[in-house]
Amino acid sequence: MKVKIREKMMIFLLAGAMFAFLTGCAAKHCDSDKPEDLVPAKLTLDARSDTKYMIDAYDPLECFNRRMYNFNYYFDTYFFLPVVSGYAFITPDYIEYRITNFFQNLREVKNLTNCLLQLKAEDSGITLGRFLVNSTIGLVGFYDPATDFGWLRRNEDFGQTLGYWNVGAGPYVVLPVFGPSTCRDTAGLLFDGAVKSVCTDAALDNAESKSAILAAANALNAIDARHRVSFRYYKSGSPFEYDLVRRLYLDLREIQIAK
């Protein structure tokens, strides 16, 4: 059964990739066709200049990425966001916050794993403490008393762990659904996902209809996570949104890794 869900995930991701490629190949290329009456621009970059530009990034997959960026917009607009707003509409705010807390508490497993892998003793202690306190006093994570104790959440993931051990980011990648990432962070996502599925397998070992529970939990987790992110594709209206998002994502990750 477990395999089935993963299969579904894979099919889903592949479908996204296919869509991006197909729409791209069928209709529009990344490089526009040069018309015959093309007139070179009056202002161009000085090719001899060695000026560096902050907006530049290592993005060899840019053509694919810009398509995926576009695909994610459609996925968001016609599927994900309607589901999220339906959820937000029927769920009282109070319950929404409990659900967010619940999943964030489960994510402490990921945080702890990666604190340990980065040999961060204090952060590991705090994260373990948070998990224990919130899972018990916090009623399986629905509440977050640990934060009130001053134990603030340490967000760590395997992408950061790799970065901590000096693994470079590699090319920038826009993933289907997940959005901005890098090769390193994609590997991180896969690793964290694997750890998570080992843990949930163990936790739900004897449960009946385990696959149904897992599917529902994963769906709710995804909806809750999207609900807490205010980013909307193309909403800035800036023609350079792709470039700016890329810059911000890469910088943000470097800052997180430095901590």
**Dihedrals phi, psi of 230, to nearest 5 degrees:** -90, -5
7 binds another protein per the rule CB under 8 A: no
In the list 10, 55, 198, 213, the residue contacting another protein (rule: CB under 8 A) is 55
Number of residues lying near another protein (CB under 8 A): 53
Q: Indicate whether 165 belongs to the interface with another protein (CB under 8 A).
A: no
In the complex, minimum distance from the CB of residue 43 to another protein, in angstroms, rounded to a whole number: 5
To another protein, the closest distance from the beta carbon of 7 in angstroms equals 30
Q: Which two tokens stand for residue 207?
A: 């449960």
166 binds another protein (CB under 8 A): no
Alpha-carbon span 120 to 5, nearest angstrom: 34
Q: Which of 3, 26, 34, 121 binds another protein (CB under 8 A)?
A: 34
Question: Quick check: 33 binds another protein (CB under 8 A)?
Answer: yes
Residues 38 and 251: beta-carbon distance below 8 Å: no
Contact between 224 and 141 under an 8 Å Cβ cutoff? The reply is: no
Q: Using CB under 8 A, which of 70, 105, 160, 200 touches another protein?
A: 70
What contacts 6, CB < 8 A, 6 or more positions away?
Answer: 197
| d(C-alpha 142, C-alpha 102), whole Å | 5
Nearest to 169 by CA among 108, 251, 94: 251
Shortest reach from residue 239's CB to another protein, in Å: 5
Amino acid at 100: T
Q: 211 with 219: CB under 8 angstroms? A: no
User: Measured between alpha carbons, how far is residue 18 from residues 9, 55, 179 in Å?
Assistant: 14, 29, 16
Element (H, E) at 174: strand 172-175
* Closest CB to another protein among residues 3, 27: 27
For residues 163 and 254, give the distance between their C-alpha atoms in angstroms, rounded to a whole number: 8
User: Which segment (1-9, 24-32, 180-188, 214-222) binds another protein by CB under 8 A?
Assistant: 24-32
Rounded to a whole number of angstroms, the minimum distance from the CB of residue 37 to another protein is 5
218-257: which residues touch another protein (CB under 8 A)? 234, 236-240, 243-244, 251-252, 254-256
In the complex, least distance from residue 40 CB atom to another protein, rounded to whole angstroms = 5
Instruction: Tell me if 154 contacts another protein by CB under 8 A.
Output: yes
Chain contacts with another protein (rule: CB under 8 A): 24, 28-35, 37-45, 49, 51-56, 62-63, 66-67, 70, 73, 148-150, 152-155, 234, 236-240, 243-244, 251-252, 254-256, 258-259
